[in-house]
Amino acid sequence: MTKLADWLKKACDESGLHAELGFSPPLPGGAEVSTVVALIQKVGAPNGMLVFRTSDDIEAFRSLLRDAGYGYSVLEEPWAGEQFDLNSFQDMFRDWGWSGSPESKPDWM
């Protein structure tokens, strides 16, 4: 597991969200995307937000992902010595927007 995956999982756990690490979204025609760091459920798009490390990882899949109801974002690995900041992650989740049911929306969002 990478530091980015660890931090996404930690941010989701501390924020009441669910992160599925190493998720591979089902896509039409049997296309496979194996470079997903995490699926963050209930934010960004109806089926959640997929996190990738580089834009090259999604170039061939952009329209398939959108058509399948996923949002996507590219995040770099944290730098050496960078400290985990929950508020920064929560700001990012807010920017992505809530896509879950209104009654399950966390108070901080």
Identify which of 10, 4, 6, 71 has the alpha carbon closest to the alpha carbon of residue 41: 71
Residue ranges of the domains in the chain?
3-104
Q: Give the global pTM.
A: 0.93
**pLDDT given for residue 59 in this prediction:** 86
**pLDDT given for residue 28 in this prediction:** 82
Q: What is the pLDDT of residues 30-59, one digit of tens each?
A: 888 888 999 999 999 999 999 999 998 888
Q: Which regions in the chain score pLDDT beneath 70? A: none
**pLDDT given for residue 57 in this prediction:** 85
Task: Say yes or no: domain 3-104 is CATH 3.40.1350.
Answer: yes
**pLDDT given for residue 32 in this prediction:** 84
In angstroms, the Cα distances linking 103 to 60, 69, 79, 93, 107 are 36, 21, 36, 17, 10
Amino acid identity at 35: T
